[in-house]
Amino acid sequence: MSQPFRRAAGGRIDRSRTLTFHFEGRAYEAHPGDTLSSALLANGVRVVARGPYTGRPRGTYGIGAEEPNAFVQVDSGPGEPMVRATQLEVYDGLVARSLAGKGSLGEEPDDSRYDKTWAHCDVLVVGAGPAGLAAAHAAGVTGARVILADERPEPGGDLLGGRAHLDGRPAMDWVTDLRARLAGLPEVRVLPRTTVTGAYDGNFLVAVQRRTEHLGPAAPAHVARQRLWHIRAGQVVLATGAHERPILFPDNDRPGVMLAAAAAGYAWRYGVLPGRRAVVAGAHDGALWAAVDLVDAGVELAAVLDARHLAGGQAHRALRDRGVVVAAGHGVVGTDADADGVLTAAWVAPVDGDGQARRIACDLLATSGGWNPAVHLYSQAGGRPRWSDDHAAFVPGDPLPAVACVGAAAGTFDLADALAEGAEAGWQAAAATHGGGGEEPLPPATDSVASAGAPAACWITARADSPPETIFVDLQRDATLRDVRRAVGAGMRASEHVKRFTTAGTAADQGRTTGVTTVGVLAGLLGLPVGAVGTTTYRPPYAPISFALLAGRDRGRLLDPERRTPMHERHEADGAVFENVGQWKRPWYYPAPGEDLDQAVLRECRAAREGVAMMDVSTLGKIDLRGPDVGEFLDRVYTNRFSTLRVGQCRYGVMCRADGMVFDDGVTARLAPDRYHMTTTTGNAAAVLDWLDEWLQTEWPDLRVSATSVTDQWAAVAVVGPGSREVLRRLAPSLDVSAEAFPFLTVRDATVAGIPARVFRISFTGELSYEINVPAWYGLALWDAVAEAGRPAGITPYGTETMHVLRAEKGFIVAGQDTDGTVTPHDAGLGWAVSTVKPFIGGRSLARPDTARNDRKRLVGLLPADPSVVLAEGAQLVVDADAPTPVPMLGHVTSSYRSAALGRSFALALVAGGLTHRGETLQAVDGGQAHPVVVTEPVFYDAEGARRDG
Amino acid sequence: MLSVPCPWCGPRDETEFRYGGQAHVAYPADPAACSDAEWAGYLFMRDNPKGWFAERWFHSAGCRRWFNAVRHTVTYEFAAVYAPFTQPPGVPS
Amino acid sequence: MADLLAQRRSPLAHLAGELAATGFMRELPYLSSYEVRADPAEPAMARLGAALFAGPLLAAAWPTAGRAVGTGPRYALWCGPGWYLVVDEPGTTLESAMAGLPAVDVSAARTVLELTGPFARDVLAHGCAIDLHPRAFGPGSCAQTHLAKAQVILHQTATATYRVFVRASYADYLARWLLDAAVEYVRRIDE
């Protein structure tokens, strides 16, 4: 018979439709509204998972996020490891299997969509149980912007399928009404299937919304499967409810042992009998009410045990009316199981002394030691839970600004009180942020319930001789009482230490059911009050978040922005291989058919040195500086002087941080008396602009200077090589390109290829070269025009690798490659660019004893003894690689290439003592191999600078 | 995620800002006149209190203005923001 | 001149078709724009304000923090204290009006993506941390902020119309990001 444990009626399931799912290779039936746990229970499947270390069979234990046992691997759809069966909504075609502790990621890439969104609200209400619904409604009617997030598929919390009455009607009628009212409030957003996983500074909360998983194969591919919400809330109302905790006893891990309210919940919310004959064991009224619910659902009650010595109260009367007598002062001291490990009986005995144990046959053992308020988000937000004897639980301690805890999350377990508390908190939160308005809604009327008495802090019921390794304090970690005793025996006192020693509370369920129980057990062993031991710290995330969701759409091509120059598509068409330079995509080299990197670079270098070549230099940082004081300002930020620069001239400059270390370098031109055009290293453009703004705003606001980034305004093409003048002449017939009229380190406005352009005669290669700048939207046209004009001369496009070879041959450094924040201008061989007259940022540091040392690491050139060896950048330099360790290290290789012009390899390096080692042979160690290298001047080509005029 | 109250743009996420360290550490008017110890003090030494701290922030992705803030280094609460070159308003006790 | 203009290529020309297919996104290429950095109280700024925005309703006032002002296609966006982006139709030259002021032509530095329609705000919220709710941000609001991982200037020009100013080098990334974020909404329009 299908679904033998399904009740004849009731539950929030759609019995008109039947779904088929597979578990452990067998097909079963379920109804929409079922979770995998409820569906397995309906089909009489008790074993859902296994203990990770013991291999012992485990069954569904809870009914929601607190579940420690029933984790499964989902194989249908994109597949997912470690899914709680208690929260996994069954869909037609679901395929799942049991797990022992951990799942595995699928082999196939998950092509589902995941996204993120940001949201702002006046009031965020977490949890749509009675208190949360009342809070959201009270806040919403004021017109405040409200978000109500709840992890379940539908609001209602513990009212779902429950039997409470509100305003004289079934409570779910009230929920339905309230949902309709919330739907009518345009500023209220209800997020179902949404778990708030973290509370961070400034009421910033993160939530995971499961949007289409429950649809299974019917999920539309264009809709994101999950969404990560980043919520900034004015006020937060935490109505997160409470987690039921068990009482521990020997063999408390058998399938069939279940939390009592969870068991009752299956009966009424899902219409499933969690067993046919039950023993209920508790230490608070809630356990007794669960027993009432079970017997009313048709479960035979074999025994109801209460660890407290209490009689009277409404729950006792209700049970007596049903012919059930509560065994006060009794608990469970053991269980029996069949060959499959499934529960067959409970052993029951008085909790005081070692009275005779009695065996009671049962297939359900429903245990409940009380409720732990879900203080996780309160704690994450900075709150410190405190122990309350009245609640026998940790409850929120001191209130937090702009955060309210209501209902069971605050230890308010009475329905009427929780509703009133929620409504008041929602109302107050809206008043605090939105200003309030309208009339405060009254919470619905409830039946008052007289309690039998306060809950007891009862952690374990066992006999003195019960083996401690059978009493599980953490089902998902297979941690037992023996482990806790060992921790104490090893001298541990703090719950944080015991947690790490035993691993109890560290699994995917984060010890929701038994974390506090572990603390209670520890307190008992130490002879301390529970409050003195205290809880462990709750940290985000409250529930696991998949990496795919954290990535959202920031993956693949969108992982990090790809900055492109206007010529990008032409580089692609020309077959360029690209290199990442910061976020820029820059052509690295342009291989001709059959060429590798080395061959292409040798060819490109030769073209630049012997003919003509072109490069896209649009990525260079560019800053427009205006104002009467720019010259003075530049004198302060550069090590050399710029105020004396004449209009139309350019100068190379070096910038230091205040500590005297090289920060950036580049060429800056004076375009007008009050206007300069600064260039920066590609990767440093934003940092330099920040640097300039910092000094202008925080130190020298009297200087009249404004700095504007124009990096993206200008596209630029460098035309390089002896043939470059001829190419420019063709492109700009009205420009006098002679060396006399357009000398080195000057700038001219000109029309180039019909485009208004700014042409700089500067060189990063040592060759005659021009950098033609045009407004970016002409960049592609300029590139094509240069290529066309250079075609007769065989103009060759080149990439960053060739650029590096050419500049390194000339000993030109790259800030950030040949310097690393510990290198002064003098160290880098740039002393010629350092003024000894004027003050500049970092100047004072150059006179510090440490920066004036002679044995500082300084820039040198290296020639490997074997000219075919290209040293690894980063290789360490030593005198003798075979010296006893630690081998004194003199420095390291910063740039290393193969040179077409030299016909051999070469390198730049930073070496202690610098050129005092000139002519010496050192060893460059890379990957265990030592290469002899000779120290030279760091200029390898055209040291006299004869080539820059062509 | 801190919400940093930019005096110009209002509260914005921390990711739009750059942190600038302790406020009211002025660049010496005449660095050359500083002793090595004084200069090292300017370069390297900063307070690191537990509690209220006057510090600099730069709204780099927004209005690109530097400003000062009084922030609590334990609770991360901002008590005040104020312009460079002005003194911090009263600090909460 | 026509020859010259024909040589231009906008940063999102290659995605025009995909943007159009969404039904609510497009590039507004080649807008003229200038960054002006000056105290609005300076006489030259007052004169410029009058020259650009003179009108019976708009008394040459430069926008206050977080706001944009404009007449017709011409807007001034507040970028920071004493810092404005003046935007106008493609091809408009404002150099002479701005003479004597620190004004930098940045027309080619950015392009503009315009989103319009009922889903524009939701699409932006997928990558924008600032509050775009009408109570916090409405027509005439502007902000420099992040959208996805790009720095942008966001300008709401009408009830459901937003302009996103993005640097030319980031435009391809941001447009592809927005196209991806728009997928759900495009389908909803089709349905």
| % of chain A at pLDDT higher than 90 | 91
Chain A residue with CA closest to C100: the answer is A627
Contact C137, C156 (CB under 8 A): yes
Domain assignment present for A171: no
C-beta atoms of C146 and B15 within 8 A: yes
**Picking from A93-97, A313-317, B70-74, C117-121, which range would have the lowest pLDDT averaged per residue?**
A313-317
- pLDDT tens column, A347-371: 999 998 778 999 999 999 999 999 9
Is A702 in the same domain as A681? Answer: yes
Q: Could you state, in order of their start, the residue ranges of all structural domains in chain C? A: 17-190
Q: Contacts of residue B3 in chain C, CB cutoff 8 Å?
A: none
Q: Which of A153-162, A841-850, B55-64, C92-101 has the lowest mean pLDDT?
A: C92-101
Question: Longest Cα pair distance anywhere in chain B, in angstroms?
Answer: 42
Write down the pLDDT at residue C58. Answer: 47
Per-residue model confidence (pLDDT) at position C60? 53
Q: How many domains does chain A have?
A: 6
Residue A526 within a domain:
no
Instruction: Note whether A779 and A895 are same-domain residues.
Output: no
Type of residue numbered B60:
S
A628 shares its domain with A483: no
Q: Are residues A57 and A40 in contact, defined by beta-carbon separation less than 8 angstroms?
A: no
Three-state secondary-structure class, residue B69: strand
Q: If pLDDT is split at 50, 70 and 90, which confidence band does A202 have?
A: very high
- Chain B residue closest in CA terms to A708: B64
- Residues A55-64, mean pLDDT to the nearest whole number: 97
Instruction: Residue A659: list chain B partners with CB under 8 A.
Output: 43
Chain B residues within 8 A of C80 when measuring between CB atoms: 8, 59, 62-65
- Are B1 and A659 a contacting pair at CB < 8 A? no
End position of a domain, from candidates A516, A542, A560: A516
Q: Please compute the mean of the pLDDT values over residues C41-60 and round it to a whole number.
A: 72
Q: Which phi-psi region, left, alpha or beta, contains residue A425 (left: φ > 0; alpha: ψ -120 to 50)?
A: alpha
Q: Report d(CA A588, CA A763) in Å as an integer.
A: 19
3-state secondary structure of A392: coil
Q: Please determine, for residue C178, whether its predicted confidence score (pLDDT) is greater than 70.
A: yes
- C80–B16 C-beta distance less than 8 A: no
Q: What is the pLDDT of residues A677-724, one digit of tens each?
A: 999 999 999 999 999 999 999 999 999 999 999 999 999 999 999 999
Q: Which amino acid is at A781?
A: A
Q: C76: which residues sit within 8 A by CB, 6+ positions away?
A: C49, C52, C53, C62, C63, C68, C69, C70, C84, C85, C86, C87
C31 by DSSP, 3-state: which? coil
A 119-148: CB under 8 A from C: 119-120, 145
Contacts of B13 in chain C (CB under 8 A): 129
The runs of H, that is alpha helices, within A574-654 are 597-610, 630-637
C interface test, pick of B6, B9, B60, B67 with most C CB neighbours within 10 Å: B9
Written in H, E and C, the secondary structure of A434-487 is: CCCCCCCCCCCCECCCCCCCCCCCCCECCCCCCCHHHCEEECCCCEEHHHHHHH
Q: What average pLDDT does this structure show over C99-116?
A: 95
DSSP annotation string for A550-583: HHTT-SGGGSS--B--TTHHHHHHTTPEEEEETT
**What mean pLDDT do residues A528-555 have?**
93
Cα end-to-end distance, chain C, whole Å: 45
Rounded Cα distance, A262 and A274, in Å: 9
What distance in Å separates residue B36's CA from the closest CA in chain A? Answer: 6
Does residue A698 sit in the same domain as residue A719?
no
Stretch A151-179: mean pLDDT: 93
| Backbone angles phi and psi of A372, in degrees to 5 | -100, 110
Query: Hey, which residues does A493 pair with through a beta bridge?
Result: none
Specify whether the CB–CB gap between A630 and A674 falls below 8 A: yes
Angle subtended at Cα A839 by Cα A838 and Cα A845, rounded to the nearest 5 degrees: 130
Which of C102, C109, C133 lies closest to A710 in CB terms? C109
Task: Find the CATH number of the domain harbouring A855.
Answer: 2.40.30.110
What's the pLDDT score for residue A107? 81
| Average pLDDT score over chain A | 95
Candidates C79, C81, C145; nearest CB to B16 = C145
Backbone angles phi, psi at A356, to 5 degrees: -60, 135
Count of C-beta atoms within a 10 Å radius of residue A637:
22
Structural contact between residues C12 and C171, judged by C-beta atoms closer than 8 angstroms:
yes
Considering only CA atoms, which of C181, C96, C116, C118 is closest in space to residue C147? C181
Domain that holds residue A289: 255-368
Instruction: Indicate if A577 and A634 belong to the same structural domain.
Output: no
Please tell me whether residues A594 and A718 are part of one structural domain: yes
Residue C2 pLDDT class (50, 70, 90 cuts): low
Residue A152 amino acid letter = R
pLDDT reported for residue A528: 96
Query: What CATH number did the domain enclosing A81 receive?
Result: 3.10.20.440
Q: How far is B64 from chain C (nearest CA, A)?
A: 7
**Residue C57: which pLDDT band, with cuts at 50, 70 and 90?**
very low
Contact B39 A701 (CB under 8 A): no
pLDDT at C1 over 70: no
* Both tokens assigned to A882: 């075979």
Q: Are A86 and A27 members of one domain? A: yes
pLDDT in tens, A238-276: 999 999 999 999 999 999 999 999 999 999 999 999 999
Task: Report pLDDT digits (tens) over A485-505.
Answer: 999 999 999 999 999 999 999
How far CA A429 is from CA of A122, A204, A271, in Å, comes to 8, 16, 38
Low-confidence stretches of chain B (pLDDT beneath 70): 91-93
Is residue A816 a part of any domain in this protein? yes
Which residue, among A531, A479, A718, has the nearest Cα to A620 in the 3D structure? Answer: A718
Tokens describing residue A854: 């002679």
Q: Are residues A703 and A724 in the same domain?
A: no
Q: Is residue A733 part of a domain?
A: yes
Residues near A485 by Cβ (< 8 Å), separated by ≥ 6? A468, A525
Picking from A95-99, A124-128, A438-442, A745-749, which range would have the lowest pLDDT averaged per residue? A438-442
Q: How far apart are CA A411 and CA A392, in angstroms?
A: 10
pLDDT at A1 over 70: no
pLDDT value at residue A535: 87
A790 vs A655: CA distance, rounded Å: 36
Smallest CA-to-CA distance from A282 within A313, A239, A322 is with: A313
Kind of pairing between the strands at A80-84 and A194-200: unpaired
Chain length of chain B:
93
Residues A615 and A626 in one domain: no
Distance (Å, rounded) from C-alpha B3 to C-alpha A949? Answer: 56
Write down the pLDDT at residue C190: 57
pLDDT number for residue B81: 96
Query: Can you tell me the mean pLDDT for A193-203?
Result: 96
- A159-173, A772-786, B78-92, range with greatest mean pLDDT: A772-786
The pLDDT value given to residue A779: 98
Q: Which residues of A touch C126 (CB under 8 A)?
A: 115-118, 553
Fold of the C17-190 domain:
Gyrase A; domain 2 (3.30.1360)
Do A467 and A482 share a domain, yes or no? yes
Residue A777 falls within a domain, yes or no?
A: yes
CA A653 to CA A635: how far, in whole Å?
A: 10
How many other CB atoms are found less than 10 A from the CB of residue A101? 18
Question: Looking at A43, A76, A111, which one is the last position of a domain?
Answer: A111
Q: Are the C-beta atoms of residues A244 and A250 closer than 8 Å to each other?
A: no
Residue B3 has its nearest CB partner, among A204, A693, A699, at A204
Residues A94/A206, Cβ–Cβ less than 8 Å: no
Chain B positions touching A698 (Cβ under 8 A) are 20, 56, 66, 84
In this predicted structure, what is the pLDDT of residue C189?
Answer: 61
Rounded average pLDDT over A53-68: 96
Question: Which residues in chain B touch residue C65, judged by CB atoms under 8 angstroms apart?
Answer: 8-9, 63
Provide the pLDDT confidence category of residue C59 given band limits of 50, 70 and 90: very low
Q: What is the per-residue pLDDT for A453?
A: 81
Contacts across the B-C interface (CB distance below 8 Å): 38
Same domain, yes or no, for A46 and A87?
A: yes
A811-842: b or e for each residue (b if 16 or more CB lie within 10 Å)? bbbbbbebbeeebbbbbbbbeebbeeeeebbb
CB-CB contact of A539 with A502 (8 Å): no
Reduced 3-state DSSP string for A803-864: HHHHHHHCCCCCCCCCCCCCCCCCCCCCHHHCCCCCCCCCCHHHHCCCCCCCCCEEEEEEEE
